[in-house]
Amino acid sequence: MNSLAWIGIIVWGLVLTVFGLTMAGPPEAQAAMQAQDVVFLIAGGLLTCLIGLVGLMGLMGWVPGLRNEQNSCA
């Protein structure tokens, strides 16, 4: 994958995290979402950002399914 795709993954993670943080309000206010939904949005967004950063650094080459193998004819 090229760098633009990894940057897109990072941006998507930031969007999820910001959405989760905006849904988290003061405890006395009536929330539109349940508390566990907000936690899952924030945690999922941060995890998505981490995946994007790892991929952008090139460390995803260690995963066997994502590695480009050189096929030799010999």
Residue 73 counted as domain residue = no
Residue 67 counted as domain residue = no
Q: What is the DSSP letter of 61?
A: G
Report pLDDT for 74. Answer: 54
Owning domain of residue 9:
3-62
pTM: 0.63
Nearest to 10 by CA among 72, 64, 53: 53
Q: What is the pLDDT of residues 4-54, one digit of tens each?
A: 887 888 888 888 888 877 777 666 666 677 778 878 888 888 888 888 888
Nearest to 7 by CA among 42, 50, 52, 44: 52
Residue 71 counted as domain residue = no
Q: How far apart are CA 38 and CA 58, in angstroms?
A: 31
The enclosing H or E element of 35 equals helix 35-57
The total of structural domains in the chain comes to 1
Query: One-letter amino acid identity for 65?
Result: G
